[in-house]
Amino acid sequence: MADNKQIIELYTDLAENPKKNFGWDKGLDNAKAHDYKSEWIEKIPSKVWEYCAAVGNPFKDADIQEGNTVLDLGCGAGVDVLVASIFVGKVGKVYGLDITPKMVELAISHAKLMGVDNVEILEGSFENIDLEDESVDVITSNGAINLTLCKESVFAEIYRVLKPQGKIFFADMIDTSIDEGLCCSMEKSSCCDNVEEDWANCVAGTMRKDELIELIKKSGFINVECTGHTHYTTADTTKGANFKAVKTSSVDKRKLHWDSLYQEPDYTQVLWHQNFPSKSLDLIYKYSSKDKAIIDVG
C-alpha cells in the first residue's frame, strides 16, 4: 500500500501542475459535473477551481448553518473549504486539514485571494486531528478518506472532534467490484498490480459501500446513508459516492444500547431477568389501593 510519502508526492505534483493529466477528472468542469452551484463558482476565484479534485458533492445533502464550525478533511487546494465558508458566513469558522504541505500553502493563499478571514488551514493527517474534542458542528471531505489505510482511526477522530449530534457529509470512492468479495483494505493491497500508485490514485484503498457504512456505524454514528453515486471513477472497479451520518448523542447511545439488548433472540438471558417479579408484585400489593396510581419505573 502507499504510505503517506507517495500520497504527498502525488498531491504535490497536482499542486504544482494543476493542468497535468493524472487520469482522473478535475478542474471547474469536474465541479460543474458534480452540480457545484453557480453562486459558489462566481464567489470563489477561478484559479481555485483548477485544483478541484472532487469525486462528489458533499454539499448536496449538507445541513450547514450560519455560524457553524466546519472541518474539511483532505482539503487539497481548499475548494470545499471556501464553499463551506459561504455557508457559515462571517460568524462561522472553517478549518481545512491536509497532509500535503504544498496543498496547505495553496489553500491558505486561496483563502486570502477570496478575502475570507474565518478560514484556518492545518497541516497534518486526519488520523490525528489537531482540534479539541467536540469542537466542530459539521465535517466534510471529498475524495480523501479512502486514501488512509486505517479508516477506523479516521472515523474515531471524526467522532471525537464532532459535537454531539454533529454531522458528517462526505464524498469518496467506493469499490464496486463484486468479484473481489470481502476484500478489505489490507487484503486488497496484496491483490493490486501497482498498489502504491493505485492507492494514491484512490483505487486500492476503496471499500465497498456496505463495508464503509458498517464501519461508520461501528464508530458510533447513526442515520448513516449513502445518498447516491456520482459519475466519478478512478478505475473499472471504483465509483464516487456521497455519504452522510450523524454523531450519536448520549441519549441516542443509551437508546441504542437498550434497543440492541432487546433485539437479542432470547433476552430472558440478560442478568436482571426474573421469571417471576416477586419483589415488584409484593410492593404493588402492599401499596396499591383503589385510589392510588402506581408506576413501575424501568
| Number of shown-chain residues binding ligand SAM (CB under 6 A) | 23
Which cell numbers hold the place of 73? 478533511
The reply on whether position 52 binds ligand SAM by CB under 6 A is: yes
Nearer to ligand SAM, 142 or 248 (CB): 142
Handedness of CA 145, 98, 94, 253 (dihedral sign): positive
Instruction: State the nearest-atom distance from the C-beta of 62 to ligand SAM, in Å.
Output: 14
Q: What is the largest CA-CA distance in the chain?
A: 85
Instruction: State the nearest-atom distance from the C-beta of 127 to ligand SAM, in Å.
Output: 6
Instruction: State the nearest-atom distance from the C-beta of 221 to ligand SAM, in Å.
Output: 20
Site residues for ligand SAM, 71-110, by CB under 6 A, read: 74-76, 79-80, 97-100, 103
The reply on whether position 142 binds ligand SAM by CB under 6 A is: yes
**How many H-runs (helices) and E-runs (strands) does the chain carry?**
12, 7
The reply on whether position 201 binds ligand SAM by CB under 6 A is: no
Which of these ranges, 70-78, 217-225, 233-241, 273-281, lies near ligand SAM under the rule CB under 6 A? 70-78
Instruction: State the nearest-atom distance from the C-beta of 122 to ligand SAM, in Å.
Output: 9
The reply on whether position 143 binds ligand SAM by CB under 6 A is: yes
- Tally of residues, the chain: 298
Nearest to residue 87, comparing CAs of 110, 61, 113, 108? Answer: 61
Cβ atoms of 99 and 8 within 8 Å: the answer is yes
The region that residue 56 occupies, defined by phi over 0 for left and psi between -120 and 50 for alpha, beta otherwise, is beta
H-run or E-run covering 97:
strand 93-98
Which of these ranges, 42-50, 84-92, 120-128, 260-268, lies near ligand SAM under the rule CB under 6 A? 120-128
Instruction: State the nearest-atom distance from the C-beta of 248 to ligand SAM, in Å.
Output: 24
The reply on whether position 131 binds ligand SAM by CB under 6 A is: no
Nearer to ligand SAM, 173 or 246 (CB): 173
Cβ atoms of 129 and 162 within 8 Å: the answer is no
Report how far residue 62's alpha carbon sits from residue 87's, in angstroms, rounded to the nearest whole number.
Answer: 10
Which cell numbers hold the place of 14? 497536482
Residues that bind ligand SAM (CB under 6 A): 7, 11, 52-54, 74-76, 79-80, 97-100, 103, 125-127, 142-144, 147-148
